[in-house]
Amino acid sequence: MIFNSLTLLSLIAGAQAVGRAIVTNQCDAPIYLWSVGSEIGPQVTLGLDQSYSEQFHRDPKSGGIAIKITSVENGLFQPNVSQTIFAYNLDGQTIWYDMSDVFGDGFAGRTMIVQPSDTSCQSIAWGQGIPPAGSQVKSCQAETDLELTFCTGHCLPSWSLCGDMAPGDYRHCCTHCIGSHHCVAAQAG
């Protein structure tokens, strides 16, 4: 009887819901991503207003998962192409998550935010597409969804055409338009 009770408890614990890692592109230009554990998944291309999602899982060899994102097609396999890494690690009932850049800041000038569906959990925001100083590692309950959005609110990236140079495009720039023609983000402070 004890074995049956333990087996049932183990099945119930294993069947608990877990959330998803979501990447949404609200930028005009496409982004390219790969889900990487001990193996590299296929390239996924996200155009304007497209999303990718995967259920949180553990890799049997590496444990954590890194969603590697570039602004260059096949960028993961080209030397020195900047990558933004949205990483997560499912640890029982906790999801650990962070963001980082390698080989530069390939999305500089674009707003980026990881927003948990559980509002009691912390978001990670890169207002200018550049990581702030200090640790970005956060944790939340495993049932939450974590959505990384590029160009939040469809904001134009820095140095995009705007105003008089973009007739019919009424989106707001990151901060303001210089001379009614180029979007400029606030200086990092």
Domains of the chain by residue range: 18-155, 156-189
Residues facing 99 on adjacent strands: 86
Neighbour tally for 100: CB within 10 Å? 14
**With 60 as the cut, is the pLDDT of residue 174 above it?**
no
pLDDT tens digits along 133-164: 777 899 999 999 999 999 876 666 666 666 66
Q: What is the pTM of this model?
A: 0.78
Q: Does the 18-155 domain belong in CATH 1.10.10.10?
A: no
56-106: per-residue pLDDT in tens?
Answer: 999 999 999 999 999 999 999 999 999 999 999 999 999 999 999 999 999
**Does the pLDDT value for residue 42 go beyond 60?**
yes
Of the pLDDT bands very low, low, confident and very high (cuts 50, 70, 90), residue 13 is: very low
- Percent of the chain at pLDDT > 70 equals 72
Q: In this model, does residue 115 exceed pLDDT 60?
A: yes
